[in-house]
A and B are shown apart, each in its own frame.
Chain A
Amino acid sequence: MRLSTYILRRIAMLIPVLLGVLILVFVIAYVIPADPARAWAGQRAREDQVEALRERYHLNDPVHIQIYHYLRNVILHFDLGVSPTTGRPVKDDLRAFFPATFELALFAFFLAIAMGIPLGVISALRRNKPTDHFSRVVALAGVSTPLFWSALILQFLFYFKLDLLPAMGRASVDITRYTGFLLLDSILNWNWTAFGDAALHMILPATTLAFYTMGYLVRITRGSMLEVLESEFVITAKAKGLPRRVVIYRHALKNAIIPPLTVLGVNFGWLLGGTVLLETIFAWPGMGRYAAGSIVMVDLPAVVGYTLVVAMVMLLSNLVVDILYSVIDPRVRIGGKRQ
């Protein structure tokens, strides 16, 4: 199969899932709550406001008509309702908060890859040596520590006790925001103080967020590297007398890297989901904090809108990872069907 055909097919396969995601969100938003209109208007809304909402979103109509209007609203206008807490359309709120979350998740994502995969490879190469034990302990700690707790501890240590890193908010320098991505904006402003400031603010939250994914990647990379190192083609390569470097980097690593790559898409989703906890603790002005803050106010539209956006980003990141993966490993395209 040619690459372009493969990509088109993957995108086509995404459509039913996307539709399913929309319907699942509909069920959460309109079917499960005992009184959806009340849930959407907020607990403190007056009866006439609730009635207006019921009218606007066709909540008195049968379910199939509700679904029709809901899908129309979401697909055509991306209308996710109005948040009773902020009084603004959820769409606008999310658009304002999205860059902060995305920037943080992306930064943590690359951090996790940059640390997790090399550590896993080294661990496998030095099996049962102190380096291996060390990285296994780090990995185990990573997958065992709840994000909300490690965030608290790191904030306590590096901000309150040692005062080394900022741990509240995104920046202390004000700049013109073009994109909402602060690192990018500070470069666009040609303001290096702001860039350094934004990067410093990023370190603690991103490290905490990356910790779990890093641990997971170490474990997967180590396992797959160990397996490849014992496979016949590596033994053959060694027997041929090829230098160790060539055997490791050309033969082993190239194959061992595939299992960790396949889980990257899902991992990005986890990072995005983890921001709910993290942004609350680090006062990071992103979608996660917005959604978590809405919980106290029983603000269903905000939570639901956030869920939908996160699912869409996760589907897209899965798509991107799949495409990258098929570029690296042509067998995927020939194999056709995904398991």
Chain B
Amino acid sequence: MTRSNGIFVSRARLIRKRLNPLLKEWGLTAYVLRHSMLAVIGTLIVFSFVFIAIFGTRLAPYNPTSTTIQERFQPPSGSHPFGTDKMGRDVMSRMLAGAQHSIKAGAIVLAIAVPIGVLLGGIAGLFGGWVDELLMRITDVFLAFPSLVLAMSFSAALGPSLFNAMIALSIVWWPMYARLVRGQALAVRETSYVEAARSRGASNWHIMFRHILPNCLSPILVTLTMDMGWVITAAAALSFLGFGAQPPMPEWGRMVSDGRIYMLSAWWVSVFPGLGIVLVVLGFNLLGDGIRDALDPKLRRLTEVKWSRKKISSSSKG
């Protein structure tokens, strides 16, 4: 009893010991992020966007798809802050309800593309030789197309719908992550700790998950944050072209496209949804920049000194 208890205690201590440096790192990252004005703004934008995506449909003052022809093309006013479109639908309500499609597109595309890219890149970097050569030539082929054009082509073959646009974007988006992870894997493969692990008889998979992937986390996190914005733009662009969301779905890119021909008489129909996309992409870019700076070793050590000093002074006060 005591013995098993003793083992339990020491295990808990072991876990804490392992977690401690990790928590410290995260604490430092959070500190750096908090102290960058732009990163704070980015975080705020991203959080409010997520909030709107979750609760937008409930927040919308009007039904986003019900049409009232008598109220078409109303300019922005108290009752319709962003005006109404050609069917008399409230633009603000449609934007609130449409946020979820944008975030869904971004999240789903990256949730498919990133694991594929990470896995293939890791395999290429770790195994080297002909495997690497083959996988990298395949990524070269995908990277030979501008991403929007390739996604457009896939969408055209699959048939226009938001779901197919997401599939198309996932197919297009993985090669960049494969490149990124492969580069890291090549660097990590040569380090002495991987050599030590190998001499201990560690398998390739062990090295991949314990050594290579943890080393890739920071660059992946930065790229991922910025890519969220890009995927959202790309999905909106596909919808703008008519590939993605089909009417009457309130998707922001589609809304810009629908309002395009009425630009002269009713600018608000296109301007506000576009402004929404700009804000969201800006938010993800700022947050990505902030995370990159926070994870940058050079900047990090500088702030770490400041951080620890502040911690010591605050703990001595308390």
Q: Using a CB-CB cutoff of 8 Å, which residues 247-300 of chain A contact chain B?
A: 266, 269-270, 272-274, 276-277, 280-281, 291-292, 295-296, 298, 300
Q: Which of B52-60, B79-87, B112-120, B146-154 contacts A (4 or more CB under 8 A)?
A: B146-154
Q: Which of B14-22, B24-32, B266-274 contacts A (4 or more CB under 8 A)?
A: B266-274
Q: Which of B69-77, B195-203, B275-283, B302-310 contacts A (4 or more CB under 8 A)?
A: B275-283
Given A140-B285, A295-B160, A298-B156 in contact, is the A276-B241 Cβ separation under 8 Å? yes
A17 touches B277 (CB 8 A): no
Q: Using a CB-CB cutoff of 8 Å, which residues 201-217 of chain B contact chain A?
A: none
The CA-CA distance from A276 to B286 in the complex, in Å, is 27
B229 at the interface (CB under 8 A from A): yes
Closest to B274 in A: A149
Partner of A20 from B140, B153, B236, B277 at Cβ < 8 Å: B140
B193 at the interface (CB under 8 A from A): no
Partner of B236 from A17, A23, A146, A296 at Cβ < 8 Å: A146
B260 touches A17 (CB 8 A): no
The CA-CA distance from A20 to B153 in the complex, in Å, is 16
Partner of A277 from B144, B240, B277 at Cβ < 8 Å: B240
A307 touches B285 (CB 8 A): no
Measured between beta carbons, the chain B residues less than 8 angstroms from A16 are 137
The CA-CA distance from A304 to B154 in the complex, in Å, is 9
Instruction: Give, as a whole number of angstroms, the nearest-CB distance from B161 to chain A.
Output: 13
Binary contact readout B175-205 vs A (1 if CB under 8 angstroms, 0 otherwise): 0000000010000000000000000000000
Which of under 10, 10 to 19, 20 to 34, or 35 or more describes the interface residues of B? 35 or more
Closest to B143 in A: A266
The CA-CA distance from A32 to B158 in the complex, in Å, is 7
The CA-CA distance from A145 to B154 in the complex, in Å, is 24
A310 touches B145 (CB 8 A): yes
Binary contact readout A130-162 vs B (1 if CB under 8 angstroms, 0 otherwise): 000000000011011111110011011000100
B154 touches A148 (CB 8 A): no
Measured between beta carbons, the chain A residues less than 8 angstroms from B274 are 146, 148-149, 152-153
Binary contact readout A1-29 vs B (1 if CB under 8 angstroms, 0 otherwise): 00000000000000011001101110011
Instruction: Give, as a whole number of angstroms, the nearest-CB distance from B227 to chain A.
Output: 12
Binary contact readout B235-268 vs A (1 if CB under 8 angstroms, 0 otherwise): 0110011110000000001001100100110010
A33 at the interface (CB under 8 A from B): yes
A146 touches B281 (CB 8 A): yes
B146 touches A314 (CB 8 A): yes
Number of interchain pairs (Cβ within 8 Å): 139
The CA-CA distance from A292 to B236 in the complex, in Å, is 15
A156 touches B267 (CB 8 A): yes
B233 at the interface (CB under 8 A from A): yes
B111 at the interface (CB under 8 A from A): no
Q: How many residues of A contact B (CB 8 A)?
A: 52
B141 touches A306 (CB 8 A): no
B138 at the interface (CB under 8 A from A): yes
B62 at the interface (CB under 8 A from A): no
A280 touches B146 (CB 8 A): no
B142 at the interface (CB under 8 A from A): yes
The CA-CA distance from A20 to B140 in the complex, in Å, is 9
The CA-CA distance from A25 to B263 in the complex, in Å, is 36
Instruction: Give, as a whole number of angstroms, the nearest-CB distance from B96 to chain A.
Output: 19
Partner of A24 from B142, B236, B260 at Cβ < 8 Å: B142
A104 at the interface (CB under 8 A from B): no
A176 at the interface (CB under 8 A from B): no
B149 touches A17 (CB 8 A): no
B149 touches A273 (CB 8 A): yes
B149 touches A29 (CB 8 A): no
The CA-CA distance from A290 to B310 in the complex, in Å, is 61
Measured between beta carbons, the chain A residues less than 8 angstroms from B160 are 295
B282 touches A144 (CB 8 A): yes
B141 touches A295 (CB 8 A): no
The CA-CA distance from A275 to B240 in the complex, in Å, is 13
The CA-CA distance from A266 to B176 in the complex, in Å, is 12
B237 touches A277 (CB 8 A): yes
A311 at the interface (CB under 8 A from B): yes
4 nearest A-B residue pairs (beta carbon): A273-B146, A20-B141, A149-B274, A32-B157
Interface residues of A (CB under 8 A from B): 16-17, 20-21, 23-25, 28-29, 32-33, 39, 140-141, 143-149, 152-153, 155-156, 160, 266, 269-270, 272-274, 276-277, 280-281, 291-292, 295-296, 298, 300, 303-304, 306-307, 310-311, 314-315, 318, 339
What are 20 residue pairs bridging A and B, where the CB atoms are less than 8 Å apart in the complex? Answer: A17-B140, A21-B141, A24-B142, A28-B153, A28-B154, A143-B285, A144-B285, A156-B267, A273-B146, A273-B149, A276-B152, A277-B241, A280-B241, A298-B156, A303-B152, A304-B153, A306-B149, A307-B149, A307-B153, A311-B144
Interface contacts beyond A25-B153, A307-B149: sample of 9 additional A-B pairs, CB < 8 Å, sorted by A: A28-B154, A33-B157, A33-B158, A140-B285, A145-B278, A149-B270, A269-B146, A292-B242, A311-B145
